[in-house]
Amino acid sequence: MFIHDVDQIENIIENRIQNYSIALVYYRQTKGKNHLERAQQEIDAINTVLATVEKMELMSLLSRG
């Protein structure tokens, strides 16, 4: 089950990074502020996922105690 969870987290982050890259390309092409905001939302989502993983890892370490 652990491997499945890691694969799923990896896929989520890869998709978010791809969406971020696409938004930046659109921003460079159009200079539209909405594309830049979308890119920032993707970064925020990545940071949220990473923060959740860090909390789960901390809880795992503390439970081994």
- pLDDT for 35 equals 96
Tell me the per-residue pLDDT of 15-63, one tens digit each, with 9 for 90 and over: 999 999 999 999 999 999 999 999 999 999 999 999 999 998 888 888 8
Phi, psi of 21 (to 5 degrees): -60, -45
In angstroms, rounded to a whole number, what is the distance separating the alpha carbons of residues 56 and 20? 25
The HSE-up count of residue 39 (CA atoms within 13 Å, CB side) is: 15
User: Which pTM was predicted?
Assistant: 0.81
CA 37 to chain centre: 15
